[in-house]
């Protein structure tokens, strides 16, 4: 009888070798499917939650500074919010149009708080109407354009969306020009701003503003 069982492929547990292999194959497939599903879920879950750096910040529109006013600091999002208008005669000492800018600069921008030179945290200096970096002296205009080096480029910016009162409907979004976020002119119905700190673009290497006045050190 034992010989008959071995020939039929029956194991000591009462299942045939073929059934045993089927079970192993089924278990492997179940494990593989579970792993794939886990990876997919991990990929789909947002890495950063709203309100933490790397994610989006939704702010009421009255968080904005006045036009060409001093920038508003959002330390938790690591950005400065600025409201720019080179056509506004008030505050033009802060936001003026440079000779190489062929159009007016108007709208809202969210500027990353890290200096483009070696990564220090710069600050707004009200007495001089500009951002100044304490580490090596780089200076930037209200919109982040560099005035003096050693900064190699203008300050980086985050994408801005204008939202309706439901906080969902997007009325307008920052546009890219040469892969850099342009200031966003807000539509009249804007109730909230969404700043996406996961969508940063590097500032361009424009001419230093001090070069136009021969005042570079
Ligand atoms: S890190 Fe800002 S000037 Fe060097």
- pLDDT one-digit tens code per residue, 45-92: 666 667 788 999 999 999 999 999 999 999 999 999 999 999 998 888
Residue 13: give the domain boundaries. 2-44
**Domain co-membership, 32 together with 65:** no
Convert the pLDDT of each residue in 151-179 to its tens digit: 999 999 999 999 999 999 999 999 999 99
Cβ atoms of 195 and 158 within 8 Å: the answer is yes
Determine the number of helices (DSSP H) and then strands (DSSP E) in the chain. 2, 13
Looking at per-residue pLDDT, the higher value among 172 and 13 belongs to 172
**Domain co-membership, 70 together with 6:** no
**Domain co-membership, 105 together with 198:** yes
Q: CA 76, 78, 83 angle in degrees (round to 5)?
A: 110
| Nearest atom, ligand 1, residue 137 CA | 3
Establish if 49 belongs to a structural domain: no
**Domain co-membership, 31 together with 116:** no
| Nearest atom, ligand 1, residue 118 CA | 1
Cβ atoms of 193 and 61 within 8 Å: the answer is yes
Residues whose beta carbon lies within 6 Å of some atom of ligand 1? 115, 117-120, 133, 135-138, 150-151
In SS3 terms, 82-141 reads as EEEECCCCCCCCCCCCCCCCCCCCEEEEEEECECCCCCCECEEEHHHCEEECCCCCCEEC
**How would residue 33 be classed by pLDDT, with cut points 50, 70 and 90?**
confident
**How would residue 27 be classed by pLDDT, with cut points 50, 70 and 90?**
confident
Mean pLDDT, the chain, integer = 90
Number of domains into which the chain is organized: 2
Give the residue, by CA position, lying nearest to ligand 1 atom 3.
136
Establish if 51 belongs to a structural domain: no
The DSSP string of 172-195 is EE--EETTEEPPBPPPTT--EEEE
Per DSSP, the three-state class of 39 is helix
Give the residue, by CA position, lying nearest to ligand 1 atom 4.
136
**Domain co-membership, 23 together with 62:** no
């Amino acid at each position: 009888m034992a010989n008959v069982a071995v020939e039929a492929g029956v194991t000591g547990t009462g299942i045939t070798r073929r059934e045993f292999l089927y079970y192993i194959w089924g278990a492997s497939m179940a494990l593989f499917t579970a792993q794939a599903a886990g990876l997919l879920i991990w990929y789909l879950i947002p890495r950063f939650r709203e309100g933490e750096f790397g994610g989006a910040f939704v702010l009421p529109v009255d968080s904005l500074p006045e036009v060409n006013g001093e920038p508003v600091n959002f330390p938790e999002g690591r950005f400065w919010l600025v409201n720019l208008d080179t056509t506004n005669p008030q505050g033009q000492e802060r936001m003026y149009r440079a000779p190489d800018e062929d159009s007016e600069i108007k709208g809202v921008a969210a500027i990353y708080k890290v200096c483009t030179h070696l990564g220090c945290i710069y600050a707004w200096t009200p007495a001089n109407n500009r951002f100044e970096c304490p580490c090596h002296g780089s200076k930037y205009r209200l919109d982040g354009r560099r005035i003096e080096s050693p900064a190699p480029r203008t300050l980086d910016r985050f994408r801005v969306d204008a939202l309706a009162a439901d906080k969902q409907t997007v009325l307008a979004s920052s546009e890219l020009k040469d892969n850099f976020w342009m200031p966003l002119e807000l539509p009249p119905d804007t109730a909230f701003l969404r700043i996406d700190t996961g969508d940063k673009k590097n500032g361009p290497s424009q001419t230093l503003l001090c070069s136009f006045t021969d005042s570079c050190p």
